[in-house]
Amino acid sequence: MTSIVRTLSRGLMAAAIAGFVVASAGHADAADKKYKIALSNSYIGNAWRVQMINLMNAYAKDNYGDKVEFTVTSTGADVQKQIAAIQDMISQGVDAILINPASDTALNPVIEEATEQGIVVVDFDQVVTAPSAYKINVDFVKMGELHAQWLVDQLGGKGKVIINRGVSGFQADRDMHIGNMNVFNKYPGIEVVTEIYGKWDDGVTQAELTKALTAHPDVAGVTNQAGEYGALQALLNLNYKLIPMTGEGTNGWRIAMEEYKDKGLKGLSAGEPPLVGAYALKTAVDILEGNPPADKQMWVQLPVVTTDNLQPGVNVFPEAPHTLFADLEVPGTGITATVKEALGEE
């Protein structure tokens, strides 16, 4: 009897040791796992998108080293091309797909296909409606309202205005315009004389606003989604009066706000930080490691800067290129970056 017990005890101990070894090996494998994370980016035609990708690459390198294999595919505004790119990512067996989408609804079937196969999907910048995706976005309707209300306040509720929109068909453009009009429609004294599509680009905005200002010489203010530095150049080249303008977070716009504020320029700079892409990457890794966010929808706070609270070296960088987006943090997340990382120099 005693020998049987000893034999059983030794057997159980051996099994326990073997189980411990297997478990330890499993933990080591999990710890050593290299995650394949792919970015499916749509539009790439402006500095914001380029900086977004630069910052995602820098964040992956700085924070995950050999832990994450990060790849980027940009397909432009063609929804079918983006769907095909995501299908290719699925076939490659990636662990997570980050999506800056060309459509808020058209990608839903391929997103569902990915999540059904156990792939983590994190949407950011433009909102998708697929329920299985995690979403990190700015409320662009509220952003449009913020811009419009500031302009209305500067004008005392009266005057002719121009709306500089982004890229037609994108959810961010549509929602910001809804926000603009939510406010402007409250004020009978505000007249929207025309809308232009600056495509979130300084050069396009300058050309389109030059034509609009030539046709409407008595405009009192302009709301810009982006391309705001180009909008100012249009005013200066036409010797137009320095009317109040809104814009997003470009360094050139903030440098100009600082330079021309004593000459009468009043400006608002409030836009989505390009670092939102790094936030999406961090979220995907957290989910893969078993630490998902409490809510699938996360809203990004907007940094707001006016001609009254510019701080060189903090929210405006006089020595950096005008095309830099000067918001180098995601408020409330602890995610920060440097100017060199944003420019792809580190």
* Mean pLDDT (whole number) for 332-343: 95
Q: What pLDDT, on the 0 to 100 scale, is given for residue 17? A: 34
The answer on pLDDT for 4 being more than 70 is no
* Mean pLDDT (whole number) for 34-57: 94
Helices marked H in the chain — which ranges?
Answer: 2-32, 47-64, 79-91, 108-116, 140-155, 171-184, 202-215, 228-237, 251-260, 276-288, 339-342
DSSP symbols for 64-86: HGGGEEEEEEE-TT-HHHHHHHH
Q: How confident is the model at residue 11 (pLDDT cuts 50, 70, 90)?
A: very low
Q: What pLDDT, on the 0 to 100 scale, is given for residue 47? A: 87
Q: What pLDDT, on the 0 to 100 scale, is given for residue 31? A: 55
DSSP symbols for 7-53: HHHHHHHHHHHHHHHHHHHHHHHHHHPPEEEEEEE----SHHHHHHH
Q: Is 217 helix (H, G, I), strand (E, B) or coil?
A: coil
Query: pLDDT digits over 199-254, tens only?
Result: 988 999 999 999 999 999 999 999 999 899 999 999 999 999 999 999 999 999 99
Distance CA 266, CA 258 (A): 10
pTM for the model stands at 0.83
* Mean pLDDT (whole number) for 297-305: 93
Per-chain mean pLDDT for the chain: 90
* Mean pLDDT (whole number) for 125-149: 95
